Amino acid sequence: MKLLTTPQEMQALALTWKGEGLTVGLVPTMGWFHEGHLSLMRKARAIADKVIVTLFVNPIQFAPTEDLDNYPHDLERDRSLAEAEGVDVLYAPDVDGMYPEDFKTSVRVSGLTTGLCGASRPGHFDGVTTVVAKLFNQTLPHVAVFGEKDFQQLAVIRQMVRDLDFPIEIIGHPIVREQSGLAMSSRNSYLKEDEMDAAHSLSKAIVSAKNLLKQDASHSPEQVKEEAARVIVSHPQCSIDYVEIVDRTSLQPCDRISPESMLVLAVKINQRIRLIDNSLLIT
């Protein structure tokens, strides 16, 4: 496996592969790999001739009050894990290479970015779409694999790809969970032992909401949201950022429950760890 660190060398290799008629699969990440990341790599490995994993903690998607400085990182650990999955290139550019001193461009997707995480993290998705557009141009993939845990991000990137005519297939890969039900996340490493029960409230809220609908499918979105919120706030360490039921494609609030309805959650644990989760309500 190669470790590349500059846009120029990454793009040159990607152009060589494309000239040879090879399909290129991309897995964008911010590192600190867990089983969720590794499942994305395996998916890319199964469908592409060459697999690139990017590792870049993107500063422009973090607000000043967020955890950029503390975000977990260990390049050698991640390098070893990626190599074991048969990844061809780990692309780990530095900030100066990605955003030179005279950098003045951003990519913005409107509409889909205003609610949910976009409401509580202003500017976050502008940072995401800008860096992903740059990574697409540097790696030139035929297909890119993203986890469905960041469901709003996935919808935003799909919109960007359609709007800007990127010749890339975007694949969403299911959430990978701990045995306990907790959605895997790099931020889980922040959790202390006495915060784990609170963290599990997100997956428990999803289960409880689904069970409510199994008992009576006529429940309204408001009733289902109230049940999910009840489970979460029963943990004093939890504060709700949002509990919403939205259409899986448009991200617009649902006025009734349908097979397209997603329960989406964002919760802060002790005001310092923000976790997200989601699930279709009818499965």
Residues 168, 234: one domain?
no
User: Are 136 and 234 contained in the same domain?
Assistant: no
Domain that holds residue 191: 186-280
CB 89 within 8 A of CB 52: yes
Residue 179 lies in a domain: no
Predicted pLDDT of residue 282: 93
Select which of 37, 124, 173, 235 is catalytic.
37
* Phi–psi pair at 228, nearest 5 degrees: -60, -45
In this structure, the answer to whether residues 166 and 260 fall within a common structural domain is no
Note whether 164 and 228 are same-domain residues.
no
Whole-number pLDDT of residue 283: 84
Tell me the three state secondary structure of residue 87: coil
Per-residue confidence (pLDDT) for residue 97, from 0 to 100: 96
Residue numbers in the chain where pLDDT is lower than 70? none
Instruction: Work out the end-to-end distance of the chain between its first and last CA atoms, rounded to an integer number of angstroms.
Output: 39
Domain count, the chain: 2
CATH number of the CATH domain containing 261: 3.30.1300.10
Q: Judge whether 37 counts as a catalytic residue.
A: yes
Same domain, 42 and 138: yes
User: CA–CA separation, 175 vs 157, rounded Å?
Assistant: 17
The pLDDT assigned to 95 comes to 97
